[in-house]
Structure 1
Amino acid sequence: MTAEASGDPTRPHTESEDLGWTINIPGHPPRADSPEYRAARAAMHRLTDTLDRPFYGAEPVEDHHGGSLWLKDSEGWFLVRNLVGIEWSAQFCADPSKVDLLRQNAKRLYALCPDAVQELGIEELLDTPITDAAGVQRWTDSICNAGVPLPHEVHAAALPQGGGVHHYPSPVTEIVFFKRDDFRLWVVDAGGQAVAVAPVAKRGSGDGRVQVLFAAQESALHPALERARDSGDALLLGAEHPMARTAFARQYDNPAPSVTATSVAASPRAAA
């Protein structure tokens, strides 16, 4: 951590860190695959294989502790997600009474799909209140939490291999699942640091600016992004900015019918 910017700690000052984040994890036994987790992983692959067009991507996929709730109706299996997911290491700070609210929420939902309960063999899991660490562990590694099927590049990979949810904010990483294929979410700055951007106007508008959603701490854009957020503004990059050009490159090659060859001017708030 760097030194305080001001010698007087009672006055506003800044602090920064060399790493993006650090969390404290209480001591625990070495991680090993529990029976619940092995069963959940096998079920996830089996259920994913029944889907005609998996939203998160087809095999090969990895199991993400993301609050998976697999349901079944007359058309077959489908996946919804609980209020939150519990990552494996996060179970050691989990309040059993709060985790039990996730169980109750799942139980109400599964009451609408009793066939799924029977086929998954989770009736006892749904009916058993969570009151201690053992109950938290069982829920965390069960198919009701650990069965979200994510390809590696959006699960655990770091850029440039991929923007995984274990490394970057979910409101940014999840854009990859619904964005247009010809728009590039992740770009790099002049220093090779990861930056996520999004368009500021609808497709075909001719507006080539982008809004910066995320910038690695080592990126030259990171301080500007923080200042913009502190003031309630968006950090915009002009249409001719190299990163904006990179993000839209494939759309420039295949423009929408109403897009003109001339990009609109950058707004006064756009970064150089």
Structure 2
Amino acid sequence: MTAEAQGDPTQPHTESEDLGWTINIPGHPPRADSPEYQAARATMHRLTDTLAEPFYGGEPVEDHHGGGLWLKDAEGWFLVRNLVGIEWSAQFCADPAKVDLLRQNAKRLYALCPDAVQELGIEELLDTPITDAAGVQKWTDSICNASMPLPHDVHSAALPQGGGVHHYPSPVTEIVFFKRDDFQLWVVDAVGQAVAVAPVAERGSGDGRVQVLFAAEDSALHPELERARDSGDVLLLGADHPVALTAFAQQYGRPAPSTAAPSTAAPSTAAPSAAAPPRAAA
């Protein structure tokens, strides 16, 4: 996330970055790490260090306001996610009654893990209804929301350094946590813009096509993706498309096209692509 625009943060203002988005932000006090957030961040790092195989990534990690709930059973600490997370800047449009539903959901879950409640010291947090902005702020920066350990490249980095959740859609960025290591989710196109793709058939099918899940606004593939979506289709790239070759390069056991390196450049204008129904034949 970029820094606030220069000026008085108590007045309505905008935030933007090079990826081509701008959002309106209500006036708010200048951002500073609240005591709740400082405590949540320290606790998150401490608990992450207890995990033998952390799913979201071991240290170094950053603290994401992703709605993580830390639980504990006989095997130790583990992390689950609440219905949604609340990013820091989003708290200023939050309805306290809706945020309280997150508190109620967490309270029911934590009733199954009373030891975790005691060790985290969150009894009062879970028992106090959220009715105003102060309650929203306390929940937003608490260990029940600001609690997900994410590596920098999947939290706040932009391509080519990484595909972070602060820059790209979560349904796409979260694929990185469960995809096969030898499949390249993110490809940077010939003009340096991000493209995310996924296979259309199971491993070993021989089908080398990919579906475009995301294309940055300045990407050569973005207009094609928008046209496909407008017509109710998906955008498929043929097996010989440089983006597809890059995505499968490690599985093919050969280098990616010289002009389509996984983390540097991937031409997206020379090979054919087509819109087609999402279920491709294996």
Aligned residue for 1:138? 138
Which residue of structure 2 lines up, in the alignment, with residue 204 of structure 1?
204
For the structure 1 residues 267 and 202, does the alpha-carbon distance in structure 2 shift closer, same or farther, using more than 3 Å as the test? farther
Match for residue 263 of structure 1?
Answer: none
Alignment of 1:177 with 2:177, yes or no, is: yes
1:19–1:55 CA distance, 2 compared to 1 (3 A): closer
Q: What residue in structure 2 maps to residue 34 of structure 1?
A: 34
Q: C-alpha separation between the residues in 1 aligned to 2:140 and 2:133?
A: 10
Displacement of 1:20 = 2.9
C-alpha distance in structure 2 between counterparts of 1:130 and 1:268, whole Å: 50
Partner of residue 244, structure 1: 244
Out of 20-29 and 108-117, give the one that drifted further.
20-29
Deviation at 1:190, TM superposition (A): 2.3
CA deviation string 1:92-118 (max 9, x = no partner): 111101100000000000000000000
After TM superposition, give the deviation of residue 68 of structure 1 in Å.
1.1
Matches within 5 A, 1:14-53: 20-53=20-53
Matches of 1:177 and 1:170, distance apart in 2: 11
Q: Which has the higher strand share?
A: 2
- Structure 1 counterpart of 2:86: 86
2:116 is equivalent to residue 106 of structure 1: no
**Deviations 1:40-67 (CA, angstroms, capped at 9, x unpaired):** 0000000000001000111000000000
Corresponding position of 1:72: 72
**Secondary structure of 2:146's aligned partner:** coil
**Bigger radius of gyration among the two:** 1
**Unaligned runs of at least 5 residues, structure 2:** 1-17, 255-271, 277-282
CA RMSD of aligned residues (A): 1.4
Offset, 1:19? 5.9
Alpha carbons of structure 1 residues 83 and 268: separation in structure 2 relative to 1, 3 Å:
closer
Say if 2:235 and 2:274, in contact at 8 Å, map to a contact too: no
One-letter identity of the residue aligned with 1:245:
L
Distance 1:246 1:21 in 2: 27
How many Å apart are 1:193 and its aligned residue?
Answer: 1.4
SS in 1 for 2:78: strand
CA distance in 1, matches of 2:275, 2:50: 48
Asked if 1 retains the 8 angstrom alpha-carbon contact of 2:235 and 2:273, the reply is no
Q: CA deviation at 1:268?
A: 5.9
Instruction: Give the TM-score normalised by structure 1.
Output: 0.86
Give me the TM-score of the superposition, normalised by structure 2: 0.83
Counterpart for residue 262 of structure 1:
none
> By how many angstroms is 1:269 displaced?
3.8
Kindly tell me the number of residue pairs found equivalent between the two proteins. 242
Once residues 169 and 275 of structure 2 are traced to their aligned partners in structure 1, the CA distance between those partners, rounded to angstroms, is: 24
State the alpha-carbon separation in 1 of the partners of residues 191 and 117 from structure 2: 51
Identity percentage of aligned residues: 88
User: Per the alignment, do residues 268 and 40 of structure 1 end up closer, same or farther by CA in structure 2, a change over 3 Å counting?
Assistant: closer
Assess if the C-alpha contact under 8 Å between 2:155 and 2:165 holds in 1. Answer: yes
**Deviation digits for residues 204-225 of structure 1, max 9, x if unmatched?**
0110000000000001110110
SS of structure 2 residue aligned to 1:139: helix
Does the residue aligned with 2:207 lie in a helix, a strand or coil? coil
Query: C-alpha distance in 2, partners of 1:193/1:35?
Result: 38
Alignment partners' CA distance in 2, 1:26 and 1:194: 30
> Which residue of structure 2 lines up, in the alignment, with residue 223 of structure 1?
223
Secondary structure at the counterpart of residue 235 of structure 1? strand
Inter-partner Cα distance in structure 2 for 1:72 and 1:118: 11
Who is 2:11 aligned against?
Answer: none
Where 2:228 maps in the other structure, the secondary structure is helix
